[in-house]
């Protein structure tokens, strides 16, 4: 008896009527789970559909013994019964995306009083954009790590805000910074400026297609286009390497922690767990352990990387808040 015969005997389903379709010897309860993109339009708040469906390997095959975080978050809030817990949590988690604009707003409205934009706009908007990007690319690894998906819409949200903050950064820099050579010089007068400008240019098509109609229209090409995010990631790291170099800061200024404030080091530290958690063997290991009810092993294994991630992110936020408050008070640091 051939292998094919064996399969047919075990799975005696008729051939698929769809072109190219086949049961492959396994019956699927939800045939769309493996689709490359959601078939139905989705609202951002609907995490199940907004989230890019992961492969089966990411979904635990065993039934969870206790109620999942997702199920709890999908329930109506007890304090605000009109809203689901997830919607309330997402609302508050989305607010930090506005922080860079909040900090820079006074500089814009005062038309660069005291050269506040000339001296600090890149620190506030650049750092803010970087933080938004890193949050966006942190969502998928976090889903892999925890199995919870209720915060998946934050990926799109912070991705969009990364692009918008980047565009506002580029526009403000083109008008206010002190690099010679006019608008072109301010945008591309140095190598780090060129990479920054390219980041904004690459972000534009991703931003324009970060919506459901574009996703539906582009079909499988949508995912390929969105993979430009990885190019952006590399470009941001290069931009920071060209900006800060490979060595810790030196000179008679700072707060005594020059290594922690080195932006290239920060992005490397943050990228380490994020890249690892995108590698198929690592994802598989995490999912297997989670499915086997050994989530604690996952936490233990990733604890040092999580600590490094938090440490690096804390200094990015430190710079954003510290410089942002100085700009807000129209008291920019002397460069």
Partner 1 sequence: MSALSGAQAPQRNITGILLIAMGSVVAAVLVILAVPYYAGSSARIASLYTNVAGPADRILAADIQAYAANRLRNLAAAKSDLSNEVQAETAFDNQLGTITFPPAPDPHADQLTTADAKRIKLIKLQLQVKSLRKLRALDSQVQAASAAVDAQVKIMRADLGLPAVSGGLY
> Could you list the residues that contact partner 1 (CB under 8 A)?
3, 252-260, 269, 272-273, 276, 279, 281-286, 288, 301-305, 307-308, 311, 322, 333-334
- Shortest reach from residue 263's CB to partner 1, in Å: 16
C-beta of 175 vs 300, nearer to partner 1: 300
3-state secondary structure of 84: strand
- Return d(Cα 329, Cα 335) in angstroms, integer: 17
C-beta of 93 vs 308, nearer to partner 1: 308
C-beta of 141 vs 153, nearer to partner 1: 141
- Return d(Cα 109, Cα 132) in angstroms, integer: 23
- Shortest reach from residue 297's CB to partner 1, in Å: 9
Q: Are 324 and 99 in contact (CB under 8 A)?
A: yes
Quote the tokens at residue 178.
């002190």
Identify which of 69, 63, 210, 261 has the alpha carbon closest to the alpha carbon of residue 146: 69
- Shortest reach from residue 101's CB to partner 1, in Å: 24
CA separation, residue 44 to residues 41, 94, 98, 135, 166 (Å):
10, 12, 18, 17, 22
CA separation, residue 46 to residues 43, 71, 96 (Å):
5, 13, 20
C-beta of 45 vs 57, nearer to partner 1: 57
- Shortest reach from residue 3's CB to partner 1, in Å: 7
Q: Are 262 and 319 in contact (CB under 8 A)?
A: no
- Shortest reach from residue 266's CB to partner 1, in Å: 12
Identify which of 322, 286, 321 has the alpha carbon closest to the alpha carbon of residue 142: 286
C-beta of 208 vs 314, nearer to partner 1: 314
- Shortest reach from residue 119's CB to partner 1, in Å: 12
C-beta of 196 vs 273, nearer to partner 1: 273
- Return d(Cα 44, Cα 33) in angstroms, integer: 19
């Amino acid at each position: 008896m051939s292998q094919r015969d064996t399969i047919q005997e075990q799975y005696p389903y008729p051939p698929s009527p769809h072109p190219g379709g086949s049961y492959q010897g396994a019956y699927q309860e939800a045939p769309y789970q493996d689709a490359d993109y959601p078939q139905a339009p989705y609202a951002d708040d609907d995490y199940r559909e907004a989230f890019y469906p992961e492969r089966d390997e990411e979904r635990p095959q065993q039934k969870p013994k206790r109620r999942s975080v997702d199920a709890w978050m999908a329930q109506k809030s007890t304090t605000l019964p009109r809203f689901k817990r997830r919607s309330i949590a997402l609302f508050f988690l989305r607010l930090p995306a506005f922080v860079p604009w909040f900090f820079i707003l006074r500089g814009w409205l005062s038309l660069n009083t005291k050269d506040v934009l000339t001296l600090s706009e890149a620190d506030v908007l650049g750092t803010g954009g970087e933080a938004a990007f890193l949050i966006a690319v942190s969502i998928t690894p976090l889903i892999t790590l925890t199995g919870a998906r209720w915060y998946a819409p934050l990926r799109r949200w912070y991705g969009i805000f990364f692009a918008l903050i980047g565009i506002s950064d580029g526009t403000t820099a083109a008008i206010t910074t002190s690099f010679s050579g006019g608008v072109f010089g301010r945008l591309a007068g140095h190598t780090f400026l060129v990479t920054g400008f390219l980041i904004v240019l690459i972000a534009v098509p991703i931003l324009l297609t970060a919506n459901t109609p574009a996703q539906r229209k582009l079909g499988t090409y949508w995912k390929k286009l969105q993979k430009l995010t990885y190019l952006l990631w590399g470009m941001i790291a290069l931009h920071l390497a060209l900006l800060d170099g490979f060595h810790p800061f030196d000179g008679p200024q700072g707060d005594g922690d020059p290594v922690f404030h080195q932006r290239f080091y920060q992005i490397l530290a943050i990228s380490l767990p994020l890249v690892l958690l995108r590698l198929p063997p690592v994802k598989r290991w995490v999912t297997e352990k989670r499915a086997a009810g050994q989530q604690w092993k996952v936490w233990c294994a990733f604890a040092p990387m999580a600590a490094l991630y938090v440490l690096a992110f804390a200094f990015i936020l430190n710079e954003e808040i510290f410089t942002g408050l100085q700009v807000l008070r129209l008291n920019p640091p002397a460069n």
